[in-house]
Amino acid sequence: MKRIYVLLAVMVAAVALVGCKKAEDGKTATDNTSAKPAVESTEKAASSDVLAETQDELILEARNNFEPIPLDPKEGFKLLKNNEATDAKYELGKMLYFEPRLSKSQLISCNTCHNLSYGGDDYQSTSTGHGWKKGPRNAPTVLNAVYNSAQFWDGREADLKGQAKGPIQAGVEMAATPEYVIEVLKSIPEYTEYFKAAFPDQADPITFDNVASAIEVFEATLLTPNSRFDKFLRGDSTALNDTEKKGLKAFMDQGCTGCHAGINLTSDGYHQFQVVGTDKEHLLAGDKGRSAVLKEATEEDQFAFKAPTLRNIEYTAPYFHSGIVWDLREAVAVMSSAQLGAELTEEEIDQIVAFLKATTGEMPRMDYPILPPSTIKTPKPTMD
Ligand code: HEC
Ligand code: HEC
């Protein structure tokens, strides 16, 4: 939090400086748009990322717990490690994200289960992949996933690059192999050009690792800024209605923020699903969660799962790692009894649900990528 405030202070100072300079040039002091990095829409460029000064106590309390998502989607690039973001990598990553030929059936792309027209998710209890097989877990959204300190429900991958290699190879997802992916991509001459542009220093740039790097760069831009909640955080007291404000207050007072706070409404910790009570129906039989991926798991890691983001939650039903709860009201009620041992009133549940719906932000918009055609050398789809 502190770091953000320092950053903001620096930004304000920079904007003020540029403003003065402009004024000297005979332009208005408020014309500061050129001081900001390139952004996608003029509406966004016109507003600013600065937290406005306010006396509103609820806003001030909320700022202690949450941060708005930056308005410029390219801010996501700054979170990448050892993966320099360039336009060429972004464009390639976008194609690969939508590329069904990375799957054995050539029907399934990342976008099949993380549909960018629908909350970055698939609306299934557990995902359906190659051969109509059901995977063991619910697909989390890719939106804002760059903010996760680790990926997957059990946190078994550190970053989006490592993550992207998983589904391509998973038997219940895309069911391909790295060799197959490289064979497909090398059979399509345009891809050789795109990979060369994205990885100019490499002699043989079509590698599985580079596929993952490019996808990671694209995914880093999948942010959903400017939700009404974020406008509220920035200082617009009217951005939330009374019910939503009560919901926000209840969310903080009840202690939901213990696990769902920060920029992405998650603490990124792992928690046993049923801290209180033994309501086993919400556990997935045999899914041991975090404990299965740790070398030395403790009792607390058994059945522990990552606290997920709650942004855009109205899009990402069904809920929990098992995807068995479809109703957001029920998910909120389960959480308060299971995680906090509290019984919320019906009214409080409605208020929290109303607040959570106000976290829906502006979905990333982009041109649908046109993929280069297959050639006679391109492997044919197989369903078995
Ligand atoms: C068949 C459906 C399916 C396909 C295809 C698929 N995913 Fe996933 N994705 C899932 C499921 C299910 C999980 C959760 C698995 C787990 O936690 O064990 C997941 C998890 C993720 C996560 C972690 C998010 C988080 O909050 O932890 C990211 C990021 C992601 N997928 C990106 C991708 C990318 C990139 C591709 C394409 C290369 C892809 N997925 C293809 C179903 C799919
Ligand atoms: C002790 C940590 C903790 C607390 C406190 C907590 N949660 Fe959660 N929350 C989690 C974890 C962990 C999950 C994922 C559980 C799973 O699927 O195994 C989760 C999942 C959720 C989900 C479903 C998200 C999805 O995409 O599937 C909602 C909604 C939710 N929490 C809301 C709340 C609300 C509202 C409160 C306060 C009443 C709250 N949580 C308190 C840890 C917590």
pLDDT tens figures, 247-296: 999 999 999 999 999 999 998 788 876 544 445 555 555 677 777 777 78
Question: Would you state the pLDDT for residue 267?
Answer: 84
Please tell me the distance between residue 353's alpha carbon and the centre of ligand 2 in angstroms.
13
Residue 45 has pLDDT above 50, yes or no: no
**What is the percent of the chain where pLDDT is above 90?**
65
Coil, strand or helix at 270 = strand
Question: Would you state the pLDDT for residue 274?
Answer: 58
Q: Which of 260, 290, 329 to mutate to test the pocket of ligand 2 (most atoms within 8 A of CB)?
A: 260
- pLDDT tens per residue, range 126-148: 999 998 998 889 999 999 999 99
Question: Would you state the pLDDT for residue 375?
Answer: 98
- Tokens linked to 364: 């990333």
CB 179 within 8 A of CB 149: no
Task: Specify the higher pLDDT residue, 239 or 151.
Answer: 239
Residue 4 has pLDDT above 60, yes or no: no
Please tell me the distance between residue 64's alpha carbon and the centre of ligand 2 in angstroms.
20
Q: What is the spatial distance between Cα 189 and Cα 374, in angstroms, rounded to a whole number?
A: 9
Domains annotated on the chain, with CATH: 73-219 (1.10.760.10), 224-357 (1.10.760.10)
Is the CB–ligand 1 distance for residue 135 below 6 Å? yes
Please tell me the distance between residue 165's alpha carbon and the centre of ligand 2 in angstroms.
27
Q: Is the dihedral of CA 35, 36, 42, 46 positive or negative?
A: negative
Residue 84 has pLDDT above 60, yes or no: yes
Catalytic, 157? Answer no
Query: Angle 18-24-28 (CA atoms, 0-180°, nearest 5)?
Result: 70
Structure confidence at residue 60 as a pLDDT band (50, 70, 90) = very high
Rounded to 10°, the helix 346-357/242-253 angle is 110
- Tokens linked to 83: 């993966």
- pLDDT tens per residue, range 289-341: 777 777 787 877 777 888 999 999 999 999 998 898 999 999 999 888 877 87
- How many CA atoms lie within 13 Å of 152's alpha carbon, on the beta-carbon side? 19
- How many CA atoms lie within 13 Å of 193's alpha carbon, on the beta-carbon side? 4
Closest C-alpha to ligand 2, atom 32: 332
Is the CB–ligand 1 distance for residue 112 below 6 Å? yes
| Among 241, 231, 265, residue whose Cα is nearest residue 48 | 231
Question: Would you state the pLDDT for residue 108?
Answer: 96
Is the CB–ligand 1 distance for residue 129 below 6 Å? yes
CB 35 within 8 A of CB 15: yes
Beta strands in the chain (DSSP E): 270-272, 304-306
Residue 381 has pLDDT above 50, yes or no: yes
